[in-house]
Structure 1
């Protein structure tokens, strides 16, 4: 395979998520419509994404490491019905949506908490390569520090987050997403990379 090219399987229903030529998308959808026998219904995400050779695209998540001058860091308490980590504290975070990682961070900070961050004020402070359950797709978590920002955290999406609070890194809440706890500790010690959840 040519270096820099990644192959992955996608269901026709997932084509809207891809940057793909309209002609190619139309061709795949027409083929799927003419061959319904090959369609066995929705498959689990991890099975859809895996190639025959075991290559699985990694999900990219961005996280805001917002630290006030007193050293406290911002965390949000996730809504009880959240699909991921309900009723648990977590960094302000989101998935890249056909955008670069810093653009995603700036968008998520504005949408979720009403914070205004400029690109030149963002720096990468930690990368954590993690996996939840063995069959889940791997995730690459990028933690960015905002050196300066405008605004105070507000509940802009109360269906996702119940409250924002600044915490002392030495006294973080017990119900904190484990990989977020690890990332904060690594940021505090100046380590740029870590891994968690992978089989030994």
Structure 2
């Protein structure tokens, strides 16, 4: 899988993460995936080449929650490159079972659940919280 190492943003700098971002006003999740892929790694995706694979509701030790929606891109146009060097120090391919030590925790959790075949996980919530 392709990961990007963040830099210069003030949030999770030095950590590896999947190319990702936030929804913009009026945007669907798949539209955001297509836009973020173009902005961050310079590739063109088509909606019909995307497959939803996992939703991770992650809560960090400080109690902050995130929703990570994971998609698999089966095909794309272009060769991935670091299209946002002001936000990312580099991009690199990694095997699913050999993520770098500095992989952002909710990314690592979502990838682990995807590998297990799980479509949903609540990670970091008290036991029984679902």
Q: CA deviation at 1:198?
A: 2.1
Question: Matched residues in 1 for 2:59 and 2:99: separation?
Answer: 22
- Match of 2:82, SS? coil
Residue from 79, 85, 93 that aligns with 2:12: 85
Is 2:15–2:102's contact at 8 Å kept on the other side of the alignment? yes
- Partner of 1:105, secondary structure, is helix
- Deviations 1:134-193, CA, capped at 9 Å, x for gaps: 2x3x32110011111111211111111111100012221111111111111111121111
Does the residue aligned with 2:110 lie in a helix, a strand or coil? helix
Residues in 2 aligned to 1:169 and 1:121: alpha-carbon distance in whole angstroms: 20
Whose strand proportion is higher, 1 or 2?
2
Tell me the distance in 1 between the aligned counterparts of 2:98 and 2:123: 22
Q: Which residue, out of 14, 37, 45, partners 1:109? A: 37
Alignment partner for residue 127 of structure 1, among 55, 58, 82? 55
Higher relative contact order (CA 8 A, sep 6+): 2
TM-score (norm 1): 0.60
| Contact persistence 2:42–2:80 (CA under 8 A) | yes
Whole-angstrom distance in 2 between the partners of 1:196 and 1:152 = 33
Pairwise CA RMSD of aligned residues? Answer: 1.2
Q: Which has the higher helix share?
A: 1
CA–CA separation in structure 1 for the residues paired with 2:81 and 2:42: 6
**Counterpart in the other structure of 1:164:** 91
Aligned pair count? 125
1:184 and 2:115 are equivalent in the alignment: no
In structure 2, the residue corresponding to 1:143 is in which secondary structure? strand
Q: In the aligned structure 2, how far is the partner of 1:160 from the partner of 1:153?
A: 16
Larger Rg: 1
